[in-house]
Chains A and B, each alone.
Chain A
C-alpha cells in the first residue's frame, strides 16, 4: 500500500514538470511573423513597483504600439515574463525557463543587481543576448551583453567632478550606507576629489535599515560642508533629509545619488526635500515638454491598462529600452539572428531618440547611456540645473539638454 503513495509522488513529479519545450526552425525565438523576448523581473517583493512599471507600462506599451503598426520587418514582438520577487535563485530558474523552455531570442531589461548578476554567467555561457538590464553594477567586455544607464561608480564620478568644477565646492562630505552599495559611491568620489587635490572632509556611514540619523547629521553639521553626498536607500535617505532639516544644515547642499533621484523619494521625505540636488538620468516624466516625452505620455494613456498609468522613471526606462531594442531589430534587417542583431547594435551610431543623448555603440562600448543632468527639487519637481554631463576620458563634458 505504501508503494501506492510512493508512486503518487512520481505522478506529481510528472504532472508538474513534463511540459515539452517547443523547437523552432531558424534562429532561436524568431519566426517569420514573431520574435520572442522576455525577462525575469519583480512583480512581487521589495521592487514590485519599479518592476511592474518597467514591464507593464514600459516595455509592453511600446511593443503594443509597434505591433499595432504591424511589427518590425513583418515580425510582431511577443513577450514572456516571470516573477522573481527579487530573489536571485528564482531569477536563475526563470531565466533558464525563458532560454530553455520558452526559447527566447534575448533577455530584455530584467531588474535588480542580485537577480541580474546571478544570471550573467549562464547567459554568457549560452550566448543568449542580455540587453539593457535595470541595475547599476558595471558589466563590461561581454560580447552578448549591452547595458543601460551609467553604472553607479560612474554616476558618483560625474556628480563629484561637477560639484568641484562647476560649483567650485571644496568641502565635500558623504553619508553612505555601510556596505558594498555605499562603497560603490564613496570610493569613486574619494578618487575624483584626490584628482583635484581635495579630500573627503567627512564620511559618515549608517547600517542598512537605520532610520535614526541624528548622530551622523550632527557630526556632518560640525564639519561645515559645502556639499553632502547622500548615498542611501529611500527610507533611510528620507530620514537623513528630515534630520538635516531639523538640525538646520543650512550652509550645506545635499545631493541625493543613484536611485534616490526619484519622485517617490521626495514624497517619502515629507516636504523637506526642497532644494536637494541629484543626478537625473531622465527628463522629467510628468512635465518634460520634449516631443518624444509627450509621445511617451500619450502611449502610456493609450495602452497602459488600468489605474497605475501615471508617468514615472521606471515605465520610462522600459519604454525607452523597448524603443532601443526595436531600433536594433530595424537595423538588423529581415534576416534576423542573434549575431546579426548584436552586430546591428554595435554598428549603431548617434541614434537620436529625443529622450536621452544620442546612443552610440561599438565593438568595445556596450553602454547605452553615460550621461545625466543635475536637478534641484523645486516644489516637489526635479528642475534641471545643468546640461547633460558625462565623463570623456576622465574629463567632465557638459552638453545642452
Chain B
C-alpha cells in the first residue's frame, strides 16, 4: 500500500514537472492552445458534474461562459487594483449564483425540457450582452484588461499559461473530491433513479440546484480565464454551437468522468485545430466522428479505456494464475 502511494506521488510530481516545463519546450502558439484547452476542460468538467453525474441535459453553457467572461472583463476594467484571481473567483461565484437561480425553475422540468430551458438561457445571455451595450459595448466588443496580481502582469501567453493551469489543476482536484464524496454520490443516485434517491434521504431539489450552481461556478471561472486569454469579448463568441461543442466534449470524453472531461476537451480542441485548415469537409468530418464516437464508444473514451484496462488486468490475472498453477 505504502509503495503504491509513493509511486503515485512520484508519478504525479513527474506530471506536474512536465506541465510546468512544457512552455519552455513548446512553441508559443502551442502554449496558447494548451491554455485554451485547459479553459475548455474546465467548462467540460463543470458540465460533466451536471450532465454526467446528475443526468440533467444542459445546452446553454456558452451563456455561463459569457457571464464569467464579461464579469471578469467589466470588473477588471472598473477595479484595476483587484488581483485577477479574486476577480476570477468572484466571476465564478456570480455565475454560480445565476446557475443556482436558474436551477430553481428548472426543478419543475425533466429531460429534454431542461435542455430547451438551458438552450434558451444561452440565447438570452448573448442577447442581453448585445442589447446592454452601455455596459458591455454590445457588438463592438469588449477589450479585456491584462490580468494582474499585485504589480505582476500576465501579459503574455507564456505567463497566462501558468495562471490558467494552476486554476485548472486546483479545480480538477476539487471536482475529483466532490465526485468521490457525499455530494458526488448523491448526484449519481439522482441520475440512476430520482425516486430511489429520495427514499434514501437525498433532497432532490437541493442537490439538483447545487449541481447547477457548481456547474455554473466552474464555467464562470473558465469564462474569466477565457477573457484573459482571448483578450477581446463579443456576443458572437458565445453561440449555441459553442454550447453544443461542450456537450460533444463530455460525450466523446466520457459522461460522469473527470478524466473524460479533459480527454474530451483535448480531442475536440485538437480536432478543431486539424479541421480549421480544411474548408469544405470539416463539418462533415466532425459530424461523422461524433457518430462514430457515440456508436463505438457509448461511454466515451474514458469509458472505453476503463473497459480495455479491465480486460487487460483480467487477462493478466488469469495468466498469472496459470503460471502459478504450472509452477
Chain A residues proximal to chain B, CB less than 8 Å: 1, 3-6, 8-10, 12-13, 15-21, 43-45, 52, 56, 80-90, 92-94, 96-97, 99-101, 112-115, 117-119, 121-122, 137, 178-181, 207-208
Nearest opposing residue in chain A for B245, CB measure: A87
Is the Cβ of B234 less than 8 Å from the Cβ of A88? yes
- Can you add 9 more A-B contacts, CB < 8 Å, to A122-B231, A207-B131? A1-B309, A10-B15, A13-B34, A52-B279, A83-B275, A83-B276, A121-B232, A178-B131, A179-B138
Is the Cβ of A97 less than 8 Å from the Cβ of B130? no
A93-B279 contact, Cβ under 8 Å, with A20-B27, A21-B27: no
A88-B259 contact, Cβ under 8 Å, with A1-B309, A13-B266, A181-B139: no
Is the Cβ of B305 less than 8 Å from the Cβ of A43? no
Q: Which of B26, B259, B273, B306 contacts A18 (CB 8 A)?
A: B26
Q: Tell me the bound Cα distance from A181 to B28 in angstroms.
A: 35
Nearest opposing residue in chain B for A12, CB measure: B266
Is the Cβ of A9 less than 8 Å from the Cβ of B266? yes
> B269 contacts which chain A residues (CB < 8 A)?
16
Is the Cβ of A180 less than 8 Å from the Cβ of B140? yes
Is the Cβ of A12 less than 8 Å from the Cβ of B27? no
| Interface segment, one of B43-51, B94-102, B198-206, B236-244 | B236-244
> B7 contacts which chain A residues (CB < 8 A)?
3
The 10 closest A-B pairs by CB, nearest first: A16-B270, A100-B29, A118-B232, A114-B234, A180-B139, A82-B276, A43-B279, A114-B236, A180-B138, A21-B27
A44-B32 contact, Cβ under 8 Å, with A12-B263, A88-B230: no
A117-B141 contact, Cβ under 8 Å, with A1-B313, A44-B282: yes
Q: Tell me the bound Cα distance from A122 to B232 in angstroms.
A: 10
Is the Cβ of A100 less than 8 Å from the Cβ of B237? no
Interface flags, B131-152, vs A, CB<8A=1, else 0 = 1010001111101000000000
Q: Tell me the bound Cα distance from A18 to B266 in angstroms.
A: 13
Is the Cβ of B231 less than 8 Å from the Cβ of A10? no
Tell me whether chain A's interface is mostly helix, strand or loop, or mixed.
helix
Q: Tell me the bound Cα distance from A99 to B28 in angstroms.
A: 10
Q: Tell me the bound Cα distance from A155 to B226 in angstroms.
A: 35
Total contacts A to B, CB within 8 angstroms? 149
Is the Cβ of B230 less than 8 Å from the Cβ of A94? no
Q: Tell me the bound Cα distance from A119 to B242 in angstroms.
A: 20
Question: What are 9 pairs between A and B in contact, CB < 8 Å?
Answer: A5-B302, A12-B267, A16-B273, A89-B237, A93-B36, A96-B28, A114-B236, A180-B133, A181-B139
The reply on B30 being an interface residue by CB < 8 A is: yes
Q: Which of B130, B233, B305 contacts A208 (CB 8 A)?
A: B130
> B139 contacts which chain A residues (CB < 8 A)?
113-114, 179-181
Is the Cβ of A18 less than 8 Å from the Cβ of B30? yes
Q: Which of B8, B11, B232, B280 contacts A88 (CB 8 A)?
A: B232
The reply on B85 being an interface residue by CB < 8 A is: no
The reply on B196 being an interface residue by CB < 8 A is: no
Is the Cβ of A93 less than 8 Å from the Cβ of B226? no
Q: Tell me the bound Cα distance from A21 to B25 in angstroms.
A: 12
Is the Cβ of B33 less than 8 Å from the Cβ of A93? yes
Q: Tell me the bound Cα distance from A1 to B32 in angstroms.
A: 31
Q: Which of B127, B242, B305 contacts A87 (CB 8 A)?
A: B242
Is the Cβ of B133 less than 8 Å from the Cβ of A17? no
Is the Cβ of B138 less than 8 Å from the Cβ of A118? no
Q: Which of B28, B143, B233, B263 contacts A121 (CB 8 A)?
A: B143
Is the Cβ of A90 less than 8 Å from the Cβ of B141? no
Q: Tell me the bound Cα distance from A1 to B8 in angstroms.
A: 11
Q: Which of A13, A15, A21, A56 has the most CB of B within 10 A?
A: A13
Q: Which of B28, B236, B267, B306 has the most CB of A within 10 A?
A: B236
Is the Cβ of A19 less than 8 Å from the Cβ of B236? no
> B120 contacts which chain A residues (CB < 8 A)?
none
Is the Cβ of B279 less than 8 Å from the Cβ of A9? no
